[in-house]
Amino acid sequence: MNRALAPLNGIRIADFTIHAAGPFCTQLLAQLGAECIKIESKARPDAFRKPHAVYGRMSAATFDQVSVNKLSVRLNLKRPEAVALAKRLVAISDIAAESFRAGVMQRLGLGFDDLRSVKPDIILLSLSSCGQSGPDSHFAGYAPLFGAWGGLGWMTGYTDGPPVEVRHVMDHSAGIHAAAATMAALHQRRRTGHAQHVDVAAREVASAMIGDALIQASLGMTPARTGNRHSAMAPHGVYPTRQPDRWLTLAVRDDKQWQALVRELGSPAAADDARFATIDARLTHHDDLDALLIKWLSTCDADVTAERLQRVGVCAHVSWSMQDIANDPHLRARGATTEVSGPDLAPRLAVGAPARFSKTREVGIRRLTPALGQDEDYVFGELLGLSSAQRADLEAREVIL
């Protein structure tokens, strides 16, 4: 894969991000061709380099999606010399990215003003749980907390149940938003030559997912938790089928689609049932409607039914496990899933390029998870011009660690 034919070829990132949200952001930029230098340390290894016991992973990850395409160098940022080297990396980069709590970068001597002093038009991305300002900015948090703070967790759930934990998708959603905002700042730099500090608070990304409910709340309304239902579509939901734990998702927009569904599922009598004749009637009798759907679908193969319904214009899809995703030829054909393998890595699937480009086509995974410090010859040697002796000395004094 030729990075020169990717849209972000020529962009360099000094990447201080850790865990998931920030690294996912820089991974997206790297998949589109940016050169991303991950700055890390044996002293505080990133989550994927050690066991994740709370999640049940008892050893380091063999493959880490959010580290693909990245170069790795070691710097012990507790040492002033390491901070000075980090600044030299920033000085030859377009973007610096970090995901510490607010204030940590300043304490390290790597705050926005510090970085601007060595690179006057730097774009600094700060992706944190609560943002760079505000009374909660010092709060520690992980993905499930973002959803709880932001209101998305409360709004998600069965209507009669507790709120629901929104997990890694919340990290990665913050990462996509951060990538878009970072690109906007780059465009601004191209137009004005100015630096920019992009401040993304993951909890606010969660709030952006309930933007409609927040407007309601601002007017004194109490937004409803809708579960699997929709107040303008019926049937709408997730239905059991003939196979255990093989669910069919359905969304019927109008009467025409309802009639098509009735024809396909072979119960013509229902077409004449006044309870289901119009959308208003179906919404009123949604419980009865669901009971009918469950009865019909109890003899149906989920996958076959989804295909049949799609052919007649009804939105239907099986509730897919990751094994279904891995088996899907459509996702594979698009490069949304892609096989990766290496000397120490058995073939496996990973998530590929986030979009397809008609001209700058060479996007996607070019290299796998880097070993710690794997790219120091290039980064410290070629880019920063450090000699072998200098690097050995820095390593001996645990500046490079």
Partner 1 sequence: MLSDDSSQRSDLPLTGCRVLEHSRTVAAAYAGRLLGTMGATVVMLEPPGGSPLRTEPPLLEAAKQSALFAYLAAGKRSLLCDLRSPDGQQLLAHELEQADILIDDTPLRERKDRAVEPSDIAERFPSLVHVSVLPFGASGPKADWDGEEVNLLHAGGEGFLLPNGLSNERFPDRPPLKIYGHFSQYQGGAMAAFAALSAWWAVPANGGQYVDVSVQDAALSVGAFALQRLGDGSLEHRSTRRFRYGGVFEAQGGFVELLTLEDRQWQALVELLGRPAWTQDQALNDPLERSRRGDEINRHIGEWMSRHAVEDIVHRAQQLGVPAAKYRTPAEVIQGSHERSRGLFTPLTLDEGLEAEVLIAPFQFQCSRRPAFGRVPAIGEMKEQTE
Query: Which of the residues 62 through 91 are near partner 1 (CB under 8 A)?
Result: 62-66
Q: How far is the CB of 65 from partner 1 (least distance, A)?
A: 5
Q: Quote the DSSP letter at residue 57.
A: B
Rg (CA), the chain: 25
Would you say 164 or 277 has its CB closer to partner 1? 164
Between CA 396 and CA 388 the distance in angstroms is: 12
For partner 1, the binding residues in 120-149 under the rule CB under 8 A are 130-137, 139-142, 144-145, 147-149
Which of 155, 181, 134, 243 is closest to 29 using CA atoms?
A: 181
Of the ranges 82-90, 261-269, 346-354, 385-393, which one interacts with partner 1 (CB under 8 A)? 346-354
- Near partner 1 by CB under 8 A: residue from 60, 279, 281, 349: 349
58: Cα separation from own chain's centroid: 24
The one-letter amino acid code at 193 reads G
Which of 68, 128, 119 is closest to 94 using CA atoms?
A: 119
- Near partner 1 by CB under 8 A: residue from 1, 43, 84, 215: 215
- Near partner 1 by CB under 8 A: residue from 12, 36, 102, 112: 112
For partner 1, the binding residues in 304-343 under the rule CB under 8 A are 310, 313, 315-326, 329-331, 333-334, 336-337
219 contacts partner 1 (rule: CB under 8 A): yes
Which of 272, 247, 244 is closest to 258 using CA atoms?
A: 272
Q: Is the dihedral of CA 208, 209, 215, 218 positive or negative?
A: negative
Q: Is the dihedral of CA 363, 20, 148, 124 positive or negative?
A: negative
Pairing of strands 315-318, 247-251: antiparallel
Between CA 195 and CA 294 the distance in angstroms is: 58
Phi-psi region of 266 (alpha: psi -120 to 50; beta: other; left: phi over 0): left
Pairing of strands 247-251, 236-240: antiparallel
Would you say 59 or 269 has its CB closer to partner 1? 59
- Near partner 1 by CB under 8 A: residue from 13, 14, 18, 28: 28
Would you say 134 or 268 has its CB closer to partner 1? 134
**What separation in angstroms does the CA of 211 have from each of 150, 232, 343?**
10, 19, 46
The one-letter amino acid code at 81 reads E
Would you say 218 or 343 has its CB closer to partner 1? 218
- In DSSP terms, 250 is beta-bridged to 237, 316
Which of 47, 56, 7 is closest to 29 using CA atoms?
A: 7
Would you say 143 or 394 has its CB closer to partner 1? 143
Would you say 294 or 392 has its CB closer to partner 1? 294
Would you say 26 or 400 has its CB closer to partner 1? 26
Would you say 238 or 392 has its CB closer to partner 1? 238
Please say whether the beta carbons of 70 and 18 come within 8 A: no
- Binding-site size for partner 1 (CB under 8 A) equals 153
Q: How far is the CB of 229 from partner 1 (least distance, A)?
A: 9
Binding mask 238-257 for partner 1 (x = CB under 8 A): xxx------x-xxx-x----
Would you say 358 or 396 has its CB closer to partner 1? 358
Binding mask 273-302 for partner 1 (x = CB under 8 A): ------------------------------
- Near partner 1 by CB under 8 A: residue from 75, 155, 297, 400: 155
Q: How far is the CB of 170 from partner 1 (least distance, A)?
A: 8
Of the ranges 267-275, 357-365, 371-379, 390-398, which one interacts with partner 1 (CB under 8 A)? 357-365
Q: Which residues of 299-316 are buried (b: 16+ CB within 10 A; e: fewer)?
A: ebbbbebbebbeeeebeb
